[in-house]
């Protein structure tokens, strides 16, 4: 079993070590705690699926038909 430290795993994923720590804390990637540091297996790295960069596109605007209330008074 190949183990990678945080920096090596981040390099393999193409992200920074700080971002890898954030992903680990968020539960998006698994890791092994060995002593006071973290290690990642090749399986953990391969299982990670990154999200697309940037903000999501806005949903298309669908105008709602306005419901008119009919009043009995009057």
Question: Mean pLDDT, to the nearest integer, of 3-32?
Answer: 95
DSSP, res 72: S
pLDDT for the residue 65: 63
pTM above 0.75, yes or no: no
- Of the pLDDT bands very low, low, confident and very high (cuts 50, 70, 90), residue 37 is very high
Helices 17-26 and 6-13 pack at an angle, to 10 degrees, of: 90
Helix (H) or strand (E) holding 4: strand 3-5
Q: How far is CA 33 from CA 29, 39, 50, in A?
A: 13, 6, 22
Q: Where are the domains of the chain?
A: 3-47
Comparing 41 with 66, which gets the higher pLDDT?
A: 41
């Amino acid at each position: 079993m190949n183990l990678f430290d945080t920096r090596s795993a981040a390099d393999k994923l193409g992200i920074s070590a700080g971002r890898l720590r954030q992903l680990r804390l968020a539960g998006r990637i698994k890791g092994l705690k060995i002593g006071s540091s973290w290690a990642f297996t090749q399986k953990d790295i391969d299982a990670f699926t990154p999200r697309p960069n940037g903000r999501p596109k806005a949903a298309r605007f669908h105008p709602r038909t306005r419901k008119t209330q009919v009043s009995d008074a009057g």
